[in-house]
Amino acid sequence: MSKPSDLVQGTLDMLLLKILALEPMNGFAVSQRLKQVSGDVLQMSDGSLYPALHKLEQEGWITAEWKTSVNGRRAKYYSLTRLGRRHLEKETDNWGRLSSAISRVVKLKEA
């Protein structure tokens, strides 16, 4: 299990938003999904997950709702807002440009 890479906070936010873009879910599910989709490469410590989610909520990019799940459990479900969706698109674009730039540099042939 590799250690979580250092992620710029903005990138982390982007990941969380993306996951929530797929479907509304609660905090626990978000961290599970992140781990699962990235093949255990990207793990967020539980401790930093919730403050990050709360911050996204304060920015207005996600909104939360308390729902009772199938087995009678009450949980807080986060979903993406329209504002958040727009922010996500913008961040995804930025990330794309950044990563291709990095790839270009890395792929330079050594002399």
Partner 1 sequence: MRPEHWLYTIPLRLRSLFRRRQADQELDDELRDHVERKTEEYLSKGMAAQEARRQALLEIGGVEKRKEECRDTRRVNWIQDLLQDLRYGLRMLRKSPGFTAVAVLSLGLGIGATIAIFSVMYALALRPLPVQRADQLVELVRGDGGNLHSYGEWKIFRDRQDIFSSVLAYNYFDTNFSVTAAKQQREVSGLYVSGDYFQTLGIPSVIGRAIEPSDDQPGAPPVCVIGYGLWRLFGQSRDVLGQTILVDGNEFRIVGVAPRSFFGVVIGEMSEIFMPLEAERTYRDYPLLYGKQTPPLNDSATLLAFVGRLKPGESLSQANAGLQVLAPEIHRDLSPRSDDTSGRAVARASPMARSIRSETLAELWNETSVVLLLMTMAAVALIIACANLGNLLLARATKRQSEIATRLALGATRWRLVRQLLTESVGLSLIGAATGLLIERWGSQALLWALSWPDEKISLDLSWDTRLVFFVVGITLLCALLFGLAPAIRATRVSIYSAMNNGVTVGRRRDRFSNSLVVVLQVALSMALLVSAGLLARTLHALLAVDPGYDPKGVLVAHATWNGAAENPQRAAFIGEQLLTQFRSVPGVISASWSRVASQMYLAQLTVRKPGSAERHLGSYNIYVSSDFFRTRRTPVLAGRDFNDGDTDTSLPVAIVSKTLAEMLSPGLNPVGLRFRESDSKTKGQDYAVEVIGVTADMQYRRPDLGPLPILYRPVSQCASCLGMGDYEVRVAGAFPGMTKRLQSAASTVDSYVALKCDPLSNAFNNVLHRNRAMELIAMAFGLFVSLLAMIGVYGVTSYATAERTREIGIRIALGAQRGDVLRMLVGEMMRVVSIGIAFGVAAGLAAARMIGGMIWGIKPTDPLSFGFAICLLLLIAGIAAFLPARRAMHVDPIVALRYE
Which parts of this chain interact with partner 1 (CB under 8 A)? 26-28, 45-47, 50-51, 54-55, 57-60, 63, 66, 73-76, 81-83
Residues 65, 87: contact at Cβ < 8 Å? Answer: no
Q: Are strands 62-68 and 74-80 parallel, antiparallel or unpaired?
A: antiparallel
Residue with smaller CB distance to partner 1, 45 or 103: 45
Residue with smaller CB distance to partner 1, 3 or 107: 3
Residue with smaller CB distance to partner 1, 66 or 106: 66
Angle at which helix 46-59 crosses helix 9-22, to 10 degrees, equals: 80
CB of 107 to partner 1, least distance (A): 38
CB of 109 to partner 1, least distance (A): 44
How many residues are listed for the chain in this entry? Answer: 111
CB of 60 to partner 1, least distance (A): 4
The three-state secondary structure class of 107 is: coil
Angle at which helix 9-22 crosses helix 82-106, to 10 degrees, equals: 120
Residue with smaller CB distance to partner 1, 5 or 45: 45
Residues 25, 96: contact at Cβ < 8 Å? Answer: no
CB of 95 to partner 1, least distance (A): 22
